[in-house]
Structure 1
Amino acid sequence: MAEIDHIVIGARTLEEGAAWVEAHLGARPQPGGKHEGIGTHNLVMGLGPDCYLEVIAADPDQPAPAQGRPFDLDDPSVTLMLEAGPHLIGWVARTPALEAVAARLGPAVAGKVRPWKRGTLSWRMAMPPQTQDMRNLVPSLIQWDDGQGAAPRLPDSGCRLVALEAEHPDVDSVRRALGIRGLDEAVTVRRGPHPRLVARMRRADGTDAALASG
């Protein structure tokens, strides 16, 4: 069974992403590190023991990777969107059996399993092909090499992810894509005019906030 591991905020720069998160949630993410060979770097913020928030941006100190940066960061439409300001751009689900799930779905659906590393953390990740991920409504899958991952290591910001919602004109396709990954209960899916991801959040002071992809 897969479950939500973290939500992903895309930003033009990490500085812009940190300021945006603080303005929306009242807490500031802390430095994460570089994804060597992937072309990105990040900030992270704990949302409790099992979930966290990631701010990701292109790392100007790394060359652009041959396969493109994750979460469609090199897509012109995403680049244009992030010029206007940071946005929620995706989410990641963890599974204890990544290779088995990826083999069952096949690389055309699950994406190729690739190793990642940041500092002392290492993991494997399969990202759906960009043409089939429904604007990142369907998550990348991750398996942490230590079985725990980043969330338990992070200071608790006091903020919480209350619910994750996906909007799409074809709700059946989204539900099917989530179901074959064991994520039937993870996301509320409803019909909308265009693909849109919404993270319902609760700030440390108990007030509510919403982060959206558009």
Structure 2
Amino acid sequence: MNTHPALLDHLVLATPDLAATVADFTRRTGVAPAPGGVHLGRGTRNFLVSLGGTGYLEIIGPDPEQSAPRGPRPFGVDGISEPAIVTWAVRPPDLDAAVAAARLRGYDPGPVRPMSRRRPDGTLLSWRLTDGDGAHPSGLVPFLIDWGDTAHPSAGLPVTPLLSLSATAPDPDEIRPLLAALDTGLPLGTGPVGFSCTVDSERGPVEIC
């Protein structure tokens, strides 16, 4: 059974207007997120900024250069009216072992499936992750990811170090056992479902909700 805690891989900041959100982040922090790539067939693209170490922030929104996808865009992008951190990913030492351990502890992260995208320079990134379709609806329980032999996306990104990450939920005690089943944790308070993170920048701490 996995005995090492899962590491923060990335936070997902979903937005209905990718260009506007990237511009706002740049204005507030003085750091311009780097183009990440296009999710072909899913109708989205992303921009990335390192949170220090191998954690990063993914800003994801509709790709105006793609036609509308057959199904909904990922991370509820179609249903939001303003930017928000909607979920997060952790990286266990062994993805398959972590999924098996979580199921033994009473939480099923969902099936593992492969995904890929190309960077703007043409480099193919491939990874595996747990299917979010069956994830906890709050988004507060992370999905699991494994980059395998692919270079981690955080490499070479502009940096805004993560100072803090927390969340609120109407019933935090419902969420905590699910986090524990994944060998991770998240400071939780009582309130409406939502995340709050603070990053450091040349312009001082910046809060992102």
Give how far 1:104 is off: 4.2
- % identical aligned pairs: 31
| Secondary structure, counterpart of 1:19 in structure 2 | helix
Deviation string 1:14-54 (CA, Å, 9 cap, x unpaired) is 21121121133221111111123433211111222321111
Give how far 1:183 is off: 0.5
Gaps of 5+ in 2: 119-123
Aligned to 1:175: 176
Bigger Cα displacement from structure 2, 94-103 vs 135-144: 94-103
Question: Is the 1:39–1:65 contact (alpha carbons within 8 Å) kept by the matching residues of 2?
Answer: no
| CA distance 1:146–1:72, shift in 2 (3 Å) | same
> Number of residues paired by the alignment?
196
* TM-score of the aligned structures, taking structure 1 as reference length: 0.81
Aligned structure 1 segments of 4 or more residues deviating by more than 4 angstroms = none
Give how far 1:11 is off: 1.6
Gaps of 5+ in 1: none
Give how far 1:100 is off: 2.6
| CA distance 1:148–1:25, shift in 2 (3 Å) | same
* TM-score of the aligned structures, taking structure 2 as reference length: 0.83
Deviation string 1:135-188 (CA, Å, 9 cap, x unpaired) is 21111211102265211x22333x11112101012111111111101103xx21
Q: Residue 2 of structure 1 aligns to which amino acid in structure 2?
A: A
Aligned to 1:4: 8
Q: State the Cα RMSD in Å.
A: 2.2
Give how far 1:63 is off: 4.1
- Alignment partner for residue 47 of structure 1, among 51, 59, 82? 51
Alignment pair present for 1:23 and 2:37: no
Q: Greater helix percent: which structure?
A: 1
